[in-house]
Amino acid sequence: MPYRFLEDVAIADVAFEAEGRTLPEVFEASALALTEVMVDLDGLSPVLSREITLTAEDLETLLFRWLAELIYLKDSACLLFCRFQIAIREGTEWELQATVWGEGIDYGKLPLKLDVKAVTYHLFVIEQIPAGWRARVVLDI
């Protein structure tokens, strides 16, 4: 798994660390960790898709907005996503374009777990490591 959940950090919430060789990979791993909190990923199918475009003045804010957008779609459109195709560009500002695949929240069918309220900036990091990129995120439960 390109992510792991951290014990004993912000104990009422859920913290994870995600890694990737590239920025799109670490954004994908972070999205998978977020979704894994809410549903058993094995039970989620990529039956519909959405396009997401985001911009931000820095990389931290871009990752925050990316995860916040997925949380927003969970409540507003009742959708959870399990497959991600992401492109990230650095220009005058950071830009993300993604196609995301998933399915609608169906109580009878999906192995749902915990609801995520929000992505927090507590201990929030996205940084370069020898193997690529690492992010640490605390989610409000």
Partner 1 sequence: MEAKKIAEGIWEVPRTAKEGMLVPARIYATDKLFKEMDQGVFEQVTNVACLPGIQKYAICMPDGHWGYGFPIGGVAAMDTKTGVISPGGIGFDINCGMRLIRTNLIEAEVKPKLRDLIDRLFHAVPCGVGTKGFLKLKEDEFREIMVQGAQGIIRRGYGWPEDAERMEDAGRIPGADPAKVSPKATSRGIHQLGTLGSGNHYLEIQVVYPGNVYDADAAKAMGIDRDFQVVVMFHCGSRGFGHQVGTDYLDLFGPAMKRYGITIRDRELACAPFASPEGQDYFKAMVCAANSAFANRQMVTHRIREVFSDVFKRDARDLGLDIVYDVTHNIAKIERYQVNGEEKELLVHRKGATRSFPPGHPELAERYRATGQPVIIGGSMETGSYLLIGTAKAMEESFGSTCHGSGRTMSRTAAKKKVHGRDLLQRMEQKGIYVRAASFAGVAEEAGMAYKDISDVVEAVETLGISKKVVRLQPIGNIKG
- List residues binding partner 1 (CB under 8 A): 5-14, 38-39, 57, 60-61, 64-65, 68, 71-72, 74-76, 78, 80, 105, 107, 111-115, 117-124, 138, 140-141
How far apart are alpha carbons 9 and 86 in whole angstroms? 29
Identify which of residues 25 and 118 has a Cβ nearer to partner 1 in the complex: 118
Query: Residues 88, 61: contact at Cβ < 8 Å?
Result: no
Judged by beta carbon, residue 19 or residue 36, the one nearer partner 1 is 36
**Which CB, 29 or 138, lies closer to partner 1?**
138
Least separation in angstroms between CB 21 and partner 1 = 26
Rounded to the nearest whole angstrom, what is the least distance from the CB of residue 112 to partner 1 in the complex? 5
User: Which residue is it, tokens 């004993």?
Assistant: 8
Closest listed residue to residue 48, CA positions, set 74, 79, 70, 71: 79
Q: Give the residue with the Cβ less far from partner 1, 10 or 25.
A: 10
Q: How far is the CB of 135 from partner 1 (least distance, A)?
A: 14
CA–CA separation, 63 and 28 (whole Å) = 10
Least spacing, CB of residue 23 vs partner 1, in Å:
20
131 to each of 25, 32, 46, 68, 110, how far by Cα in Å? 12, 19, 29, 26, 35
